[in-house]
Structure 1
């Protein structure tokens, strides 16, 4: 069965493929199908609402089952920012490095004990019959004082889980503890129930 993954982020697509392929699901990006989803406005006020908007747009454009996620970093000392604005936090065309530097500069006077944060991932899957599955995963951690590691993407180099940043973990280690890994395992369980029907 072919599923459209509503993302332009190749690294996110790879994470989703690793979970969905063993279920016999062929995960393809909208781009692979020659479809642009750039016009989807993320007007939701929560990760779950934005995930639904993206999944619904992909489903309507393709007629294929669609999966979308919306995820971001919520920093306690910043009242939950960047939150749903994580991707656009340092401006529209900012690099991952720009985003990390902006966040680190905002936290420069915040002591280690107050640098708590969590990543949230909300996933929405719209099935061929229009039914939807919504799941969420959270990973608690803290913000480092400087970037560490060369793996991952986004805020991974500055988000610490235990004594390592996400960017210092292997794909397998990250999948085991990450917000997206947790959400994807919930999605997998729900899809298994659906595919058994």
Structure 2
């Protein structure tokens, strides 16, 4: 099925119940000006899928298939998180539940800072990257999900900065801009973030 085929169906389900993600996606989808209604799965009473994959790609596909199966419509899912190389890529796919409870941003940030203390050295930065994988399925058993991936490079701060964003944004330092991703405007963030990069690839796929 081509992009035009599934777009003609009129509705694309966004497989997320994360308010922060939904807000970012709704803004980005509005900017794309697609001829399709994008509906967060919560509005269809679809609960979160069980994310038992071992990678961002696997979990994104799991979530997209779950939403598509229940809704009977094409679905797009995001799986994203922060990866810190000195921690072996952690928190990775467990970013949202790093401290134990899903979506506890404050606790997750505290745990990340605690786990990095042993690696802190004066004058040495700790690199990190935000990763976003989007998976688009035209139906629940789609054998060829479309995958769009964005990676946003940065550094991990020693303490939180900024009031914008969500998740690990207050700890993610952008050296080229000399601000954290919680201090950047939503508009600027959507242009350069991991999610923004993945969305641009998604947009480009619709133009092929």
Q: Quick check: TM above 0.5? A: yes
Q: Do residues 29 (structure 1) and 43 (structure 2) align?
A: no
Deviations 1:11-61 (CA, angstroms, capped at 9, x unpaired): 21122222223122321111112x2223x2111111011000000011111
Quote the Cα distance in structure 1 between the aligned partners of 2:197 and 2:103.
28
Q: CA deviation at 1:149?
A: 0.4
Q: CA deviation at 1:177?
A: 1.2
What is the aligned counterpart of 2:146 among 130, 133, 146? 133
2:22 matched residue in structure 1: 13
Quote the Cα distance in structure 1 between the aligned partners of 2:191 and 2:139.
29
1:4-83 equivalent positions in 2, closer than 5 A: 4-21=13-30, 22-33=33-44, 35-38=45-48, 40-83=49-92
Q: CA deviation at 1:128?
A: 5.4
Q: Do residues 119 (structure 1) and 148 (structure 2) align?
A: no
Give the secondary structure class of the aligned counterpart of 2:133.
Answer: strand
Quote the Cα distance in structure 1 between the aligned partners of 2:29 and 2:164.
22
What is the aligned counterpart of 2:173 among 160, 166, 173? 160
Quote the Cα distance in structure 2 between the aligned partners of 1:4 and 1:20.
12
Quote the Cα distance in structure 1 between the aligned partners of 2:35 and 2:170.
33
Q: CA deviation at 1:94?
A: 5.9
1:177 matched residue in structure 2: 192
* TM-score calculated relative to the size of structure 1: 0.91
Q: Do residues 191 (structure 1) and 202 (structure 2) align?
A: no
Quote the Cα distance in structure 1 between the aligned partners of 2:163 and 2:65.
34
Give the secondary structure class of the aligned counterpart of 2:134.
Answer: strand
Give the secondary structure class of the aligned counterpart of 2:117.
Answer: coil
Cα RMSD, aligned residues only: 1.7
How many pairs align?
191
Deviations 1:94-135 (CA, angstroms, capped at 9, x unpaired): 621111111111112413524101011000011259453111
Unaligned ranges ≥5, structure 2: 1-9
Cα separation, partners in 2 of 1:94 and 1:47, compared to 1, 3 Å: closer
Unaligned ranges ≥5, structure 1: none
Deviations 1:147-176 (CA, angstroms, capped at 9, x unpaired): 000000000000111221110000111111
Cα separation, partners in 2 of 1:83 and 1:4, compared to 1, 3 Å: same
1:107 matched residue in structure 2: 116
Contact 1:63/1:128 (<8 A) preserved: yes
